[in-house]
């Protein structure tokens, strides 16, 4: 199963943070084996949001670090040598049921797209064969890798915000995505004039295809400090006793809606 997190605008709708939050909570709910990938080289990447200490804790020697990452994984897949073992060798475990193939800052976008285009279908086939739900954090731009993944994805999670111009732009420019789109409104505030109900009614979106990631200072602080995984695990474990219980309730509902949409479209 291939799920692409994407937005029609950059740096506004929280694509990376929404994916990080939804995938970690989904793993804690325990129903999927998933892996995270990204095709951009921005400072705001999954590794910094999930856990800034990932590299420091895992990597002891440069020679070992050179074996970890999506670039090395793509080369292993291209070579065809022990490619099933490559997933475990090249990825970082985030929590039970969730792994991450980190980017390599030494690889530029042109190199990445070249390598990616060579192995994309073999790579996706391998990960699906091994039973992974594949989550992609896609850049907004029209890169070759983004176009391929948007075309190949079973589902596109369209990340929106409560700015009417952004929402209108998506439905005007990207109507072809609607058939396999699930919508997430990031940093959602019920006090905004642009509510879930208004979006649903104006653009004729079924309620079960529309989730939210609420505005939360605690969530934002955890991301900025690179402590999102520990924040979500702690809040999940505390349950109703957590001061973040309302936030967590909405995320769990969003995950359930996403899973239900998967079943509905027959993935």
Q: What pLDDT digit, counting tens, does each position of 66-99 carry? A: 578 888 899 889 888 777 789 999 999 999 999 9
Phi then psi dihedrals of residue 62, to 5 deg? -60, -35
Mean pLDDT score, 37-43: 77
Q: What is the pLDDT of residue 87?
A: 92
Q: What is the mean pLDDT of residues 202-230?
A: 95
Once rounded to an integer, what is the mean pLDDT over residues 150-167?
A: 97
Which domains are present in the chain?
A: 2-264 (3.40.50.300)
Q: With 80 as the cut, is the pLDDT of residue 44 above it?
A: no
Binned at pLDDT 50, 70 and 90, residue 25 comes out as: very high
The C-alpha atoms of residue 137 and residue 252 are separated, in whole angstroms, by 20
For the segment 185-207, the average pLDDT, to the nearest whole number, is 96
Rounded to whole angstroms, the Cα distance separating 232 from 245 reads: 11
pLDDT at position 42 is 65
Residue with tokens 């939210």: 212
Residue 53's SS3 state is coil
Q: Where are the beta strands (DSSP E) in the chain?
A: 2-6, 34-38, 92-95, 98-100, 133-137, 155-160, 181-188, 210-214
Predicted pLDDT at 112: 81
CA distances, 2 to each of 58, 152, 207 (Å): 27, 8, 22
Half-sphere exposure of 218 (CA within 13 A, CB side): 14
Percent of the chain with pLDDT over 90: 67
What is the C-alpha radius of gyration for the chain, rounded to an integer number of angstroms? 18
Question: For 29-33, 55-59, 111-115, which range has the lowest pLDDT when averaged over its residues?
Answer: 55-59
Instruction: Provide the 10 A C-beta neighbour count for residue 221.
Output: 12
Top pLDDT among 52 and 182 is at 182
| pLDDT band at 249; cut points 50, 70, 90 | very high
pLDDT at 267: 55
- Mean of all residue pLDDT scores within the chain: 89
Label residue 65 by pLDDT band (50, 70, 90).
very low
65-80 in b/e form (b: 16+ CB < 10 A) is eeebbbbbbbbbbeee
Q: What is the pLDDT of residues 125-149, one digit of tens each?
A: 999 999 999 999 998 767 788 899 9
Cβ(34)–Cβ(133) below 8 Å:
yes
């Amino acid at each position: 199963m291939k799920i692409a997190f994407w937005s029609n605008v950059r740096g506004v709708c929280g694509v990376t943070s929404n994916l990080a939050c939804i995938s970690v909570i989904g793993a804690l709910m325990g129903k999927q084996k998933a892996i995270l990938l990204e095709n951009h080289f921005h400072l705001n990447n999954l590794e910094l949001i999930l856990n800034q200490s990932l590299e420091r804790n895992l990597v002891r020697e440069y020679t070992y670090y050179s074996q970890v990452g999506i670039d090395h994984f793509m080369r292993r897949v291209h070579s065809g040598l022990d490619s099933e073992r490559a997933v475990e060798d090249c990825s970082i475990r985030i929590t039970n049921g969730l792994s991450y193939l980190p980017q390599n800052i030494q690889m530029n976008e042109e190199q990445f797209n070249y390598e990616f285009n060579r192995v994309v279908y073999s790579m996706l086939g391998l990960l699906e064969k091994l039973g992974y739900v594949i989550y992609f954090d896609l850049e907004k731009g029209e890169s070759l890798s983004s176009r391929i993944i948007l075309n190949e994805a079973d589902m596109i999670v369209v990340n929106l915000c409560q700015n009417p111009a952004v929402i209108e732009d998506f439905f005007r420019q990207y109507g072809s995505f609607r058939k396999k789109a699930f919508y997430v409104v990031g940093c959602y505030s019920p006090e905004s004039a642009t509510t879930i109900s208004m979006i649903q009614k104006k653009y004729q979106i079924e309620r079960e295809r529309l989730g939210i990631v609420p505005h939360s200072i605690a969530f934002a602080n955890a991301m900025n400090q690179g402590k999102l995984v520990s924040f979500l695990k702690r809040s999940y474990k505390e349950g109703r006793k957590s001061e973040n219980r309302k936030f967590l309730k909405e995320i769990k509902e969003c995950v359930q809606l996403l899973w239900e949409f998967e079943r509905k479209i027959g993935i």
